[in-house]
Amino acid sequence: MKDAGLRRRFARGEPIFSEGAVPDFAYLIEEGQVEIWVEQRGERLTLAFLGPGEILGEMAVIDRAPRSASATAVGEVIATEIRADQLRERLDEADPILKALLIGLLSRYRRGLRAAGVGPVALLEDSHHLDKLSGDQQRRVADKIRLESELLAAISNGQLAVVFQPVLDVEAGTIAGFEALVRWNHPLRGAVSPGEFITLAEETSLIVPVGQYVLRRACESLRELDLHLKGKAQPWLAVNVSGRQSVLPDFADLMMSAATAANIAPGRLKAEITESLTLDYDRVSLFVARCRQHGIGVSLDDFGTGYSGLAHLNRLDFDSVKLDQSFVRGIPGDSKASALLSGITELIRRLDAEVIAEGVETDAQAQALRRMGVRYLQGWWAGRPRDPLDWAPRLSYTTWDEGQKRTSPPTDQTP
């Protein structure tokens, strides 16, 4: 009989579904044990026993095929129904690679049953009702798998390049620091968009080795830049921290180790944490505290992108807050955007944190931000990402070249 909602109770020996039947639901077993069996040559053949937490009947529901086995309650069983649309909705939203794997698995499963003579063979002949990937989807899946393998090889072979984008101190007229960014020049495809391979890396565990690679190379590059500067300047360096990296309690220790190995002071490093990560307050607060122990700075990145940023500013100890470029686009022409940006800037300063505006592209934007009291600017106006050593000549001067900064951004650099 049925309980309230989708929970069902089955008595001892009661069939849950029968071989050859048209599927209606899959089931999540809450209590009890279920026997999965088939009738073969007139005899009952037990395939498996399933218990609490396990799902049964999902294969037929997913590919809309007749049941290939029967399920019977061994004792009293309580199970929750899982509708076909629930499963299919999740499949439609799943990673295309995962969906391709499932389609292949189901296909081999059905062919194996037919070859073994298990289940209602006549009915199994027409069992491939799961929507297959289109030709274009199949190509994208293949490209994604191939790119993932090639990215792993690129890490191993040192093919990823680290570039520095400057952060300008408009009060001092000098470059205060840099953000380390990664670029991939594929041997066959040429330049691969960071939006493509970083997104892929974040979907997998590859973001961890990519992040460690960038951290190590960034510190080494900063040391090389120091050697060229011969003490004329000591810019800081911001390194992005992904969600998977902040899970690791020792990532702050890895930053410390990378700085030590490159013979640079840990205090010259900043860990940039995206605002979305701060939703997991407990995890991030531990990471921030560990950075503090090492003297490593912590910056809140992408501030204002839709999360409860004011709560983060109150609860977490940031050295600096980087305003998302969406704030900068509207100024100076949009009075509302200017008023909002001015108020946020004043609030952050009162919390003893520095304000960094990113996405600055024009002289008008830079001047408006400076009038608001924003000291640090990042964007094409200040400079596009370049090879770290390319910045040595500019860092050798004590003031920023006013004529240089107002020229159009160089077109030969990758943004």
73 close to 32: Cβ distance less than 8 angstroms: yes
Contacts of the segment 403-410: beta carbons below 8 A, 24+ positions apart: 405/168, 405/363, 405/366, 405/381, 406/363, 409/361, 409/380, 409/381, 409/383, 409/384, 410/384
> What fold characterizes domain 7-124?
Jelly Rolls (2.60.120)
Domain boundaries, the chain: 7-124, 159-405
Q: Residue 373 and residue 276: Cα distance in Å, rounded?
A: 26
pLDDT at res. 232? 84
Q: Residue 238 and residue 360: Cα distance in Å, rounded?
A: 18
Q: Is the pLDDT of residue 155 over 50?
A: yes
Domain spanning 159-405 has what CATH number? 3.20.20.450
354-366 confidence digits (pLDDT tens): 999 999 999 999 9
Ranges 123-127, 130-134, 320-324, 409-413: which has the least confidence: 409-413
Please, which residues have CB within 8 angstroms of residue 152's CB and are 6 or more apart in sequence? 206, 209
Q: In this structure, what DSSP letter does residue 11 have?
A: -
pLDDT at res. 1? 43
194-243 confidence digits (pLDDT tens): 988 988 888 777 888 899 999 999 999 999 999 999 888 899 999 998 77
83-137 confidence digits (pLDDT tens): 887 777 677 766 776 767 776 677 666 666 666 555 544 443 444 444 555 667 6
- Residue 175 is encoded by which pair of tokens? 């470059």
Categorize the per-residue pLDDT at 60 as very low, low, confident or very high, splitting at 50, 70 and 90: confident
Q: H helices within 183-242, ranges in order?
A: 194-203, 207-229
Q: Is the pLDDT of residue 31 over 80?
A: yes
Q: Residue 261 and residue 269: Cα distance in Å, rounded?
A: 13
Ranges 74-83, 301-310, 313-322: which has the least confidence: 301-310
- Backbone conformation region of residue 230, classed left if phi is above 0, alpha if psi is from -120 to 50, else beta: left
pTM of the model: 0.71
pLDDT at res. 74? 96
Please, which residues have CB within 8 angstroms of residue 327's CB and are 6 or more apart in sequence? 304, 337, 340, 341, 344, 357
- Backbone conformation region of residue 119, classed left if phi is above 0, alpha if psi is from -120 to 50, else beta: left
